């Protein structure tokens, strides 16, 4: 298959700013990982430049092998850094973050999938940064409602879990242990545990999906009462990963944004450069100020 040429709207200017240097220095001084680096996110220069980062907890080795993801794969063998939650909290304080996103690798090697570490990270951030909005982007915890409850009971402001792609492509793109229906179950259960929690999910385009399949996925997310959705362009991290089938035009993203709002989502971020945690603070805080 021929490699597609990246269109102009996805070309990013690399700019090293004082903000980016400060973010990098703070993260690395606390011995922390970020999905910005591990997943080779193209928005790192912009986000770190504005002192926005998505912390990656539970190590940097994932037990799953999704074909779109560049995070290292393997078996962490049950190892957990018990000091990581407080180091994340200290980094948040040092950076003065009003909004923080915490995600993780999948940890199928742990009895609760790492849910207790998520909960402790939320509590640690809250103790040191009482005014900070906390978003967690969680794995599926293999469908364990007990594990999910640990995270929800720790009271993050936003709980995200990405379906990643449309139903038809899920078995091709995601790890065999993941599942389209399983992801919807997780999102639905989070609302059942705490009806007041804001839930969020994300979809990548350019994997070979059809427009109507994306709309169907949006309908499925609304059926489980998801509040926020992000829709962005898939970018192949390396030649070894799943290929980009199409670079979707900004017009299509705009059309899907209107479609999503018509379905009842409270907030939609749809565009070629959008990621599930891309400048999340600015997006969410703006909606709060407008009375979301």
Domain that residue 173 falls in:
14-289
Per-residue pLDDT tens digits for 141-158: 999 999 999 999 999 999
The answer to whether residue 172 is domain-embedded is: yes
Residue 41's CATH number: 3.20.20.70
Q: Please determine, for residue 289, whether its predicted confidence score (pLDDT) is greater than 50.
A: no
The answer to whether residue 18 is domain-embedded is: yes
Hey, what are 252's tokens? 């299509």
The answer to whether residue 52 is domain-embedded is: yes
Per-residue pLDDT tens digits for 191-219: 999 999 999 999 999 999 999 999 999 99
Per-residue pLDDT tens digits for 51-68: 566 899 999 999 999 999
The answer to whether residue 269 is domain-embedded is: yes
The answer to whether residue 7 is domain-embedded is: no
Please, are residues 145 and 182 in contact by the beta-carbon 8 Å criterion?
A: no
Q: Please determine, for residue 176, whether its predicted confidence score (pLDDT) is greater than 90.
A: yes
The answer to whether residue 4 is domain-embedded is: no
The number of distinct structural domains making up the chain is 1
Check residue 4 and give its pLDDT: 79
The answer to whether residue 2 is domain-embedded is: no
Residues near 275 by Cβ (< 8 Å), separated by ≥ 6? 41, 43, 202, 230, 232
Check residue 13 and give its pLDDT: 59
């Amino acid at each position: 298959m021929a490699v597609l040429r990246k269109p102009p709207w996805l070309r990013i200017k690399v700019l090293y700013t004082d903000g980016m240097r400060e973010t990098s220095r703070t993260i690395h001084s606390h011995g922390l990982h970020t999905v910005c680096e591990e997943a080779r996110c193209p928005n790192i220069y912009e986000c770190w430049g504005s002192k926005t980062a998505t912390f990656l907890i539970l190590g940097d080795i994932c037990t799953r092998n999704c074909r779109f993801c560049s995070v290292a794969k393997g078996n962490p063998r049950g190892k957990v850094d018990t000091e990581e939650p407080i180091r994340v909290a200290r980094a948040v304080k040092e950076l003065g973050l009003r909004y923080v996103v915490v995600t993780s690798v999948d940890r199928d090697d742990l009895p609760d999938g790492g849910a207790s570490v998520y909960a402790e990270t939320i509590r640690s951030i809250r103790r040191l940064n009482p005014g900070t909005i906390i978003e967690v982007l969680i794995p599926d915890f293999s469908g364990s409602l007990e594990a999910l409850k640990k995270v929800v009971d720790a009271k993050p402001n936003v709980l995200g879990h990405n379906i990643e792609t449309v139903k038809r492509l899920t078995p091709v793109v995601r790890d065999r242990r993941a599942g389209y229906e399983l992801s919807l179950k997780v999102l639905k259960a989070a609302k059942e545990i705490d009806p007041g929690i804001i839930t969020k999910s994300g979809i990548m385009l350019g994997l070979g999906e059809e427009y109507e399949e994306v709309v169907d996925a949006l309908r499925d997310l609304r059926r489980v009462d998801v509040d926020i959705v992000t829709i962005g362009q898939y970018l192949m991290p390396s030649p070894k990963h799943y290929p980009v089938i199409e670079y979707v035009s900004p017009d299509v993203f705009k059309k899907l944004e209107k479609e999503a709002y018509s379905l009842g989502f409270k907030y939609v971020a749809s565009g070629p450069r959008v990621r599930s945690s891309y400048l999340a603070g600015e997006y969410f805080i703006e909606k709060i100020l407008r009375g979301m």
